[in-house]
Amino acid sequence: MQFDFPIFSPVEQINPELFEQKGLKLFIKRDDLIHPLISGNKWRKLKYTLLKAQSLGKNHLVTFGGAYSNHLLATAAAASKFGLKAIGFVRGEAVDNDTLFLCRLHGMRLIFTDREQYRHKELLFEQHFGNDNDAFFVNEGGASIEGAQGCAELVQELPMVYDHLFCACGTGTTAAGILNGLSQHHLSTRLHAVPVLKNGEFIGEEIQKFSNGNQNFNLHADYHFGGYAKTTPELISFVKEFTTATGILIEPVYTGKMLYAIFDLASQDYFAAGTNILAIHTGGIFGLLGMKEKFR
């Protein structure tokens, strides 16, 4: 298995009027540009997972996600690129949509699973693939120590030291990895994690689980807009206005909520004047495919 493209993304500064008024500088790490389909934190979380599978002689990835899962699509694309088989357990009733079409197009076989069974992922894996010596369990969203290890490498790409670093959170793996990276490079940058699901306070424990209890972060759990993949007209308007003003495409599931949090905190004078803020664009643009009606 050869990884024949670099994992690197540029940082660019944007200049919203609000931040100029407050004396703040806002930068975006464009992880959405890493790869068209294996974009953002998905490739970072898959890198060492795939290397572990390789070291164990496994060539059959078995993973999990919802019907519009960016992780399923990224895993399907990565498996296709590197000559692996891929199976995706899809939460809920059988459906057909653009994301799953792309998963199938890349050769992923999909198994639709009711929500109760889906909660027991390790059991599902054992029931279906326990006797398959080639099968390798890949947790939903790439959540794992290996996933955090890949995300930690983001820090070494940064061109300068920032006062604050923000990322959206679904499992906490990306935030934990970045936190580890900041520690490894002895940076005082404060990490801010924005859970995108309701009652996301537990994300703090997940971050510490993959970062050896490091607590150099803040959790902003009030920007979920009703729950995972939930939106409001206010959030949709923000996504539209941000994309129009910057030319940077974002979606309302992850990066949109994280950036909304930054803008809202800035409006409340959360940051001192002269502060440098870095937002991580974690990709996931295909999440827009399930929300087209909301943007009409």
Query: 162 with 239, same domain?
Result: yes
Helix, strand, coil percentages in the chain from 3-state DSSP, rounded to 5: 45, 20, 40
**Per-residue model confidence (pLDDT) at position 213:** 84
- Kindly list the catalytic residues: 69
239 and 104, same structural domain?
no
- Looking at 112, 142, 172, which one is the last position of a domain? 142
Same domain, 172 and 259: yes
Residues 242 and 269 in one domain: yes
Q: Please check whether residue 272 lies inside any domain of the structure.
A: yes
My answer on whether 80 and 222 are in the same domain is: no
- Kindly state whether residue 2 falls inside one of the protein's structural domains: no
Residue 71 and residue 210 share a domain:
no
Does some domain include residue 257? yes
| pLDDT at site 203 | 95
pLDDT at residue 4 is higher than 90:
no
In a domain, 279, yes or no: yes
Asked whether residue 3 is assigned to any structural domain, the reply reads: no
pLDDT value, residue 159: 96
Tell the burial category of 291 from Cβ atoms under 10 Å away from its Cβ (0-12, 13-18, 19+). Answer: middle
Q: What is the pLDDT of residues 50-59, one digit of tens each?
A: 999 999 999 9
pLDDT in tens, 121-156: 999 999 999 999 999 999 999 999 999 999 999 999
**Last residue in a domain, options 95, 127, 142:** 142
Same structural domain, 226 and 117: no
Judge whether 1 lies within some domain: no
Same domain, 184 and 239: yes
Pull the structure tokens for residue 270: 């959360």
Longest distance between any two alpha carbons in the chain, whole Å: 62
pTM: 0.94
Same domain for 114 and 160?
A: no
Angle at 256 between CA 278 and CA 23, to 5 degrees: 40
pLDDT of residue 255: 97
What confidence tier does 2 reach under pLDDT thresholds 50, 70, 90?
Answer: low
- 119 and 207, same domain (yes or no): no
Which of 71, 83, 85, 77 minimizes the C-alpha distance to 132?
85
Give the CATH number of the domain where residue 59 resides. 3.40.50.1100
Q: At which of 114, 142, 170 does a domain end?
A: 142
pLDDT by residue (tens digit) across 155-214? 999 999 999 999 999 999 999 999 999 999 999 999 999 999 999 999 999 999 999 888
**Domain count within the chain:** 2
- 110 with 188, same domain: the answer is no
187 & 279 share domain: yes
State the residue range of the domain holding 195: 11-37+144-295
In a domain, 5, yes or no: no
Mean pLDDT rounded to a whole number for the chain: 95
Say if 190 falls within a structural domain. Answer: yes
Structure tokens at 15: 């200049």
Report how far apart the first and last C-alpha atoms of the chain are (Å, whole number). Answer: 43
Determine contact, residues 121/141, Cβ cutoff 8 Å: no
* 133, burial (CB in 10 Å: exposed 0-12, middle 13-18, buried 19+): exposed
* Closest of 97, 37, 7, 19 to residue 274, by C-alpha: 19
Whole-number Å distance between alpha carbons of 35 and 77: 10
